[in-house]
Amino acid sequence: MAFLESLPLGPLVLVALALGLAPFFPEPHLWEKLKLLAAGSLTRPIDIFDLLMHAAPVVLLLAKLIRMALKA
């Protein structure tokens, strides 16, 4: 939990938005990969890695926000 507390919130928000929404057109990559996952067609290892790479900052941000809310 010390790792989450050591992450600064501002840069984490920027990284989560940048990687979560990149590329911006035609649709965000994270959204595309989540649709593939929901459809059950996310099978290639590169696509799974791509989903993890784009989702990791968002997951970290959510974990930090939940941790902050529970501490308050």
Tell me the per-residue pLDDT of 51-72, one tens digit each, with 9 for 90 and over: 999 999 999 999 999 999 998 8
Mean pLDDT of the chain: 91
Question: What SS3 class is residue 21?
Answer: helix
Tell which wins on pLDDT, 4 or 64. Answer: 64
Cβ-proximal residues to 60 (8 Å cutoff; 6+ apart), any chain: 4, 7, 12, 16
- Predicted pLDDT of residue 35: 93
Q: What is the pTM of this model?
A: 0.83
pLDDT at 4: 86
The mean pLDDT of 15-44, rounded to a whole number, is: 89
Higher pLDDT: 21 or 60? It is: 60
